Amino acid sequence: MNMTHYMQLLADNQPWNLLIFMAIPIVLAETLAITELYILFTRKFDGFVYHLNRFSGTTVGLYFIGVIGYLMTTAVVPITKNHEWRTVIDVIAVGSYLIGGLPLIWIALQEFGFVNKALDQMGKLKIHAICVALFLVFGHIAMITGMLDPSLLGYKGSDVHQMTGGAGYEQCDPAMHSQMMQMHQQMMGDMTPEQMKQMQKQMPMTGGNMPMGNSGHTH
């Protein structure tokens, strides 16, 4: 199965990529969402939950600034230049992940007082809730499309060796097989009957039976 770049990113360098690009931002965003609901219902703009909400919003926003900057320079730009996108599925998966971080960055900007200065506490909290909802929507789009196989839209991997389903061996190149058979037949033609008998006795893995034709070569 072929993978999108999104899924390949999470699968590589285990478990660090999974922690950096999935676990940490998801934990911070979920903490932000849960504390948002608590504050909306209780209207308590002080105490531990309120400060945890502000900490989560600030931290996850700053975190995504670093993540987006890193992925844009090391993945998105090189992949685009080299025309290596694995169909539109790949573009949607990676794009949705990056876009999902923008609402969280907006929350951090609000917490630092750069935007929405005229809003009261409830107004800012509503902006928080909207931004979290947008993050969840784009985040789930990224996860769903990221798990799809790009070959559904015609992508073909660059792997040379294709493993046969459940056979436990690689397919042999026909040209290589023909060359091997010619060498085998030439070798057998140059041997005397006594040499053949002696070689058969030295082959315990095949039960003393040397393959004499195509039946001994599995494909």
Phi, psi of 49 (to 5 degrees): -65, -40
For residue 48 the two structure tokens come to 């531990």
Q: What is the pLDDT of residue 95?
A: 96
Region of 211 please: left (phi>0), alpha (psi -120 to 50) or beta.
beta
Region of 130 please: left (phi>0), alpha (psi -120 to 50) or beta.
alpha
What is the CB neighbour count within 10 angstroms for residue 160? 7
Mean of all residue pLDDT scores within the chain: 81
Strand partners, 170: 163
pLDDT in tens, 126-158: 899 999 999 999 999 999 999 999 999 888 876
Task: State the angle between helix axes of 121-146 and 87-111 in degrees (0 to 180), rounded to the nearest 10.
Answer: 160
Is residue 24 predicted with pLDDT exceeding 90?
yes
pLDDT in tens, 51-110: 999 999 999 999 999 999 999 999 999 999 999 999 999 999 999 999 999 999 999 999
Strand partners, 163: 170
Reduced to 3 states (helix: H, G, I; strand: E, B; else coil), residue 201 is: helix
Q: What percent of the chain has pLDDT over 70?
A: 72
What is the CB neighbour count within 10 angstroms for residue 96? 20
Single-letter residue type at 52: L
Residues whose CB falls within 8 Å of the CB of residue 146, separated by 6 or more in sequence, listed in order: 4, 6, 7, 10, 93, 94, 97
Single-letter residue type at 158: S
- Output the furthest CA–CA distance in the chain (Å, rounded): 100
Residues whose CB falls within 8 Å of the CB of residue 71, separated by 6 or more in sequence, listed in order: 9, 94, 98
Band of pLDDT at residue 1, cut at 50, 70 and 90: confident
Q: What's this model's pTM, rounded to 2 decimal places? A: 0.69
The candidate with the shortest Cα–Cα distance to 101, out of 202, 210, 10, 25, is 25
Single-letter residue type at 219: H
d(CA 157, CA 29): 34
